[in-house]
Amino acid sequence: MKISNLLFGIITISIISFSANSHYISVYAQDNQYSSITNENNNSSILNELKNIKTILENKVTKLATALQIASSLPQILQAPDINLIDSNINGIPEDADIEKRKIAKILLDQFNEFASIVFLLNNGDVYFDEPFENQLNRTATNLSFRDYYQVVEQTKKTYLSDAIISKATGKNLAVIATPVINKENDIIGIFLGTINFNNYDQFLQSLNLQNNTRLVMIDKNGVKIGDSNENETSISKESFEKKEQFSNLTSFKLALEGKSGSILEKFNGKESQITFLPYDIFQNKRILLLIQGCNSDVTNSNLCIDNNNKELNLVNENVLTRLNSFF
């Protein structure tokens, strides 16, 4: 297969993914059994709007994963890596070695700005190459077998979406989509992965129609933030990773880990808030959306917060949908 065919395939994936818009439901996502905490009626307007956002985010990850899966099945990637090319002084192979594999990585980076880097790992977790090459030179770890994505893919031979991690190459907070490279004998000869740039998720959540006292965050199952509607909070920073207890200590977070969704009243950053939570499973992992609505200061009547549950926020409106391609 020629490189041009790969380009055509990836572009086709993009068109198919967006043609269905928010009505498309990922075949890789598993439906949760939802149960509302403050309201037995599971069709609250806010929860429904979070489900719409969840579907958009699922679609995006599915498109990225599909592109990686297609790339991992190309002859250039399936060609057995040459471990003799690895140079410990540059943390992998030279920039001009096994160039056909690097070309495919560069195409993926060009097609999807959500990817910060594309990496090929050997089946023992050693870094074969990292693209852009500058990332490879800056690496402080050349074997990634300790990472959750390596371990899950190696065990299951299936695509995996990682928890948030601190990159050994850039020092930034990111997540990884990893897929196995499997030969004709059904053996894993490597793992092909893309690191996700959280800036896109921040920008998307900040584009939503949120009120001043409302904040929407997306977190992983450890409570590490992946996206934030607050323009003053950057999800890609190391500080975001280190502040995971801010969310993991919440009762709403713990309920979401149990597969529940709904709204409860609890304190967030010392202030009484209504938090609507929605978990979802995707590529062998979990993501959680938390919509945090601050109550009026010194409010003691919880009904003033709970009444928010019946308001229609119109988070995903026509203007947002027309701007999706800017972020995704």
Mark out the alpha helices in 113-194 (DSSP H runs).
133-137, 148-156
Q: What architecture (CATH level 2) is domain 36-43+199-327? A: 2-Layer Sandwich (3.30)
pTM, full prediction: 0.83
Digitized pLDDT (tens) for each residue of the chain, 328 residues in all? 455 455 545 544 443 443 433 333 222 222 333 334 444 343 478 899 999 999 999 999 999 999 999 999 999 999 999 999 999 999 999 999 999 999 999 999 999 989 999 999 999 999 999 999 999 999 999 999 999 999 999 999 999 999 999 998 888 899 999 999 999 999 999 999 999 989 989 999 999 988 878 999 999 999 999 999 999 999 998 888 888 999 999 999 999 999 999 999 999 999 999 999 999 999 999 999 999 999 865 444 444 564 454 455 566 555 544 454 444 4
What's the confidence (pLDDT) of residue 2? 54
CA-based nearest residue to 226, from 274, 286, 271, 311: 286
CATH of 73-196, one of 2.20.28.120, 3.30.450.20, 1.10.645.10, 1.10.287.110: 3.30.450.20
State whether residue 50 is helix, strand or coil. helix
CA proximity to 209, closest of 229, 234, 226? 229
- Look at residue 27 in the predicted model and tell me its pLDDT: 25
Query: Residues 114, 60: contact at Cβ < 8 Å?
Result: yes
206-253 pLDDT, tens digit per residue, is 999 888 789 999 999 999 999 999 999 999 988 888 889 999 999 999
Nearest to 151 by CA among 174, 129, 124: 124
Quick one: pLDDT at residue 252?
97
Contact call for residues 27 and 63 (beta carbons, < 8 A)? no
The yes-or-no answer to whether 36-43+199-327 and 73-196 have a common fold is yes
The pLDDT of residue 168: 82
Tokens representing 326 are 């800017």
Determine the pLDDT at residue 312. Answer: 54
pLDDT in tens, 75-115: 999 999 999 999 999 999 999 999 999 999 999 999 998 99
Domain boundaries, the chain: 36-43+199-327, 73-196
pLDDT of residue 242: 86
**Among 273, 299, 161, which Cα is nearest to 217's?**
273
C-alpha distances (whole Å) from 125 to each of 112, 119, 149, 153 are 25, 11, 10, 11
